[in-house]
Amino acid sequence: MDNLIKASYFLTVVLFVMGLKRMSSPATARSGIIWAGVAMGIAVVTTMFWPGLNNIGLMLVAIFSGVAIAVYSGRKVAMTDMPQMVAIYNGMGGGSAAGIAVIELIKGDVHSSGLIALSVVGGLIGSIAFSGSMIAFAKLQGLIKGRPITFGGQKVLNLIILVLAVVTGISLVTGGPGYAGTLTFFGLALTFGILMTLPIGGADMPVVISLFNALTGMAVGFEGFALGNEAMIVAGTVVGAAGTLLTQMMAKAMNRSIANVLFGSFGKEVEEAGASGIQGALKPIESEDAAIMMGYAAKVIIVPGYGMAVAQAQHKLRELADLLQEKNVIVKYAIHPVAGRMPGHMNVLLAEAGVPYESLYDLEEINAEFTSADVAVVIGANDVVNPRARTEKSSPIYGMPILNVDQAKNVIVIKRGQGTGFAGIENELFYRDQTRMLYGDAQAVLGELIQQVKQI
């Protein structure tokens, strides 16, 4: 039986790695997810035959309950709410790893100091990922305000709680785990996760979600080592490594260090930045004039943002692009790495609408083409097209790579109103001479543009 379990775990590992590899391409991503799901299914079934396993009935109840909730939520949750869903799933993974550590330490199933240390480290990381992810979910869902929640002496308090958690964890390793010490340790770790996430602004949530994803993977990996479970080790390591790389890429795309994201109180800087130094006025345009401008253009570059996602306007956008292409207009989509509220958000939305992947271009590929674009259409994007990131050293987004929309001959901005974007920074692009503002809900505005383009 032991050899069969190990062989099944080996198959699980192979499927995990192959599934992850297939996820690297849009053409094979769907099958990659299925392969990884099959791997997880094999791992769960195999674990049921683990020697000395108890409470199988309760585990089956938990598994089927979780599957039912996941299937329902996966079908019902809107694409715009996927960041919140991902945050919860990340948190649940970290919470599960922490829960395993709690049980193992209280029951005393891990005996050597090395295994206890692995359980403690995994429990610390998993607890932080769990409570921090819950705060990230609450911010994205609007249950608590997205701006940083700060107070005097907050960083000092956070440091004290972290040090106490580490010291308590060390005492569990050196003095042996006990009931009171274990609960104190996890209470401090959970508290630190909450306090660490509260001062992080909503604009940084994509990076934070990715970071907690990495922490969850690391926690699962550590607990896998403590339990001697090969499937947990590989799955956790793969998730931890992928999450770490993605976090670094996201931070680079914002030209900020991970430390600045975690401890910089970005939203507080934004509130102090205001709209100082911006000259000019917002210039509205009617849908008829905007349609004529696009219909007679040689090249149109579309820049989607979270506003498009909120309006669920991706299908209308695809229809408009198809009409323009029928009139021999070259249409390309410019995708910023941090557009939306999670990595790949815009790509998934546009793929859902049937936009060919070949029409999507990332920042490095498309930026040189804006100078030859007759029209750049910005739909619900803000901070990723703000020229102040290049020129205004006092701006909180200074140095962040942006899409060069301001270099297009004409710019049409589809926007609900005159408010600032998710980060709360006034956009200099909107006041430029070649920019016109087309106000309204993105789906309704695109519907009007479609009708106007058909009449050209």
**Which CATH number fits the domain that encloses residue 376?**
3.40.50.1220
What distance in Å separates the CA atoms of residue 94 and residue 219, rounded to the nearest whole number? 6
For residues 140 and 252, membership in a common domain is answered with yes
Q: Within a domain: residue 3?
A: yes
Which pLDDT value is given to residue 125?
Answer: 95
For residues 86 and 65, membership in a common domain is answered with no
At which of 236, 269, 302 does a domain end? 269
At which of 61, 76, 91 does a domain end? 76
Tokens standing for 177? 């785990």
Do the Cβ atoms of 406 and 385 come closer than 8 Å?
yes
CA nearest neighbour of 288 among 452, 44, 73, 121? 452
For residues 87 and 161, membership in a common domain is answered with yes
What distance in Å separates the CA atoms of residue 447 and residue 445, rounded to the nearest whole number? 5
Which pLDDT value is given to residue 271?
Answer: 46
Q: For 416, which DSSP code?
A: S
For residues 442 and 299, membership in a common domain is answered with yes
Query: Which H or E run contains 163?
Result: helix 154-175
pTM of the model: 0.78
Which pLDDT value is given to residue 202?
Answer: 66
What distance in Å separates the CA atoms of residue 82 and residue 155, rounded to the nearest whole number? 30
User: Catalytic residues, which ones?
Assistant: 383
For residues 168 and 239, membership in a common domain is answered with yes
Which pLDDT value is given to residue 341?
Answer: 67
Q: Within a domain: residue 150?
A: yes
Range of the domain at 50: 1-76
For residues 305 and 445, membership in a common domain is answered with yes
Q: List per-residue pLDDT tens for the chain, 456 residues long.
A: 777 888 888 898 889 888 888 887 777 888 998 998 899 899 888 888 877 777 888 889 988 998 899 888 888 887 777 778 888 888 999 999 999 888 888 877 666 778 888 889 999 999 999 999 999 888 888 788 767 788 888 889 999 999 999 999 999 888 777 788 889 999 999 999 999 998 887 667 778 888 898 999 999 999 888 888 878 888 888 889 888 888 887 777 776 677 766 766 544 444 444 445 566 688 999 999 999 999 999 999 999 988 888 888 899 999 999 999 999 999 999 998 877 766 677 888 888 888 888 889 988 899 999 999 999 999 988 888 988 888 877 777 777 888 999 999 999 999 886 655 555 577 888 999 899 999 988 899 999 999 999 988
For residues 62 and 96, membership in a common domain is answered with no
Do the Cβ atoms of 340 and 207 come closer than 8 Å?
no
Three-class secondary structure of residue 304 per DSSP: strand
What distance in Å separates the CA atoms of residue 204 and residue 257, rounded to the nearest whole number? 11
For residues 86 and 69, membership in a common domain is answered with no
At which of 76, 93, 125 does a domain end? 76
Q: How many domains does the chain have?
A: 3
Q: Within a domain: residue 25?
A: yes
